[in-house]
Amino acid sequence: MPALNVIMIISILKKLAELFGFSLIITKKFQKGAGYEQVSPFAFYAPWLTDRQFRNVYEVIKDYTLVDKYRCYELWQLVSQTAGLKGALIEIGVWKGGSGALIAQQAKLVGISDTVYLCDTFTGVVKAGKKDSVYKGGEHADASEKTVNELLNKLKLKNSKILTGVFPEGTSKLVKDKIFRFCHIDVDVYQSAKDIMDWIWPKLVVGGMVVFDDYGFRACAGITRLVNEERGKQDRLIIHNLNGHAVMIKTKKSASNKL
């Protein structure tokens, strides 16, 4: 059957399902033993629908991010829960700035005075290697510091600072004396995320968290592998959210700096 006819049939079936109050979800069957399947939870609670402040900022940033509204809302909520902690916030893997601007907007709204650092090479993915399933390096290079600044200005955000270059090797020296309450890692590949984790964890305060955007996605198997390697360590809790996030919360002080 021609692909166009299949698409038309699927479209008709979806519309028929909606008429009777149902949603038709097309799932992809993966190879047996691969450890992946389409995840479609049956829960209905959707607080992002009634959160006016979130909806307003999401409408502005949604075209500047590849992060869907479910993960965006989780970032929104998690940032608010760090309001009672100390330290800066940081995102590594900014692309066009959507999720970073969302984090900065929520930090502003909940009264966090510390800076939100937005780190990216703006030349695409770096450090792709054998532990990564899809990425080869250089992907997502269609962004710029200018684009991010335009978005921040659109939202009238003054609490953010862009660090351009490879993190941590190129730009961490600019924040070497900082402590952190929140870190969003969206770099797609194993080695880049590992280098960030090794740098940020000793600087993360107790109760602070690291959010891995790419944990639940087949194209980012290197991130899944890294997070799973961290499981079982005694100074952290790791939560796998079915939206694809992994959330790592620090539960004990780091011996190196007593944070």
Size (the chain), residues: 259
Regarding whether 202 and 229 lie in a shared domain, the answer is yes
76-94 confidence digits (pLDDT tens): 999 999 999 999 999 999 9
User: 2: domain range?
Assistant: 1-38
Regarding whether 195 and 227 lie in a shared domain, the answer is yes
Average pLDDT of the segment spanning 94-111: 98
* Residues contacting residue 67 through CB under 8 Å, at least 6 positions apart: 75, 98, 99, 186, 213
In this predicted structure, the answer to whether residue 74 has a pLDDT above a threshold of 50 is: yes
Regarding whether 218 and 201 lie in a shared domain, the answer is yes
122-153 confidence digits (pLDDT tens): 999 999 999 998 999 999 999 999 999 999 99
In this predicted structure, the answer to whether residue 156 has a pLDDT above a threshold of 50 is: yes
Q: Is residue 258 part of a domain?
A: no
Domains held by the chain: number: 2
Distance CA(45)–CA(227), nearest Å, equals 27
Hey, how many other C-beta atoms are within 10 angstroms of the C-beta on 158?
A: 11
User: Is there a contact between 183 and 90 (Cβ–Cβ < 8 Å)?
Assistant: yes
Q: Return the pLDDT at 1.
A: 44
DSSP percent split of the chain into helix, strand, coil, nearest 5: 40, 15, 45
* Percent of the chain with pLDDT strictly greater than 70: 90
Q: Is residue 256 part of a domain?
A: no
In this predicted structure, the answer to whether residue 9 has a pLDDT above a threshold of 90 is: no
- Tell me the whole-structure pTM to 2 decimals: 0.89
Q: Is residue 230 part of a domain?
A: yes
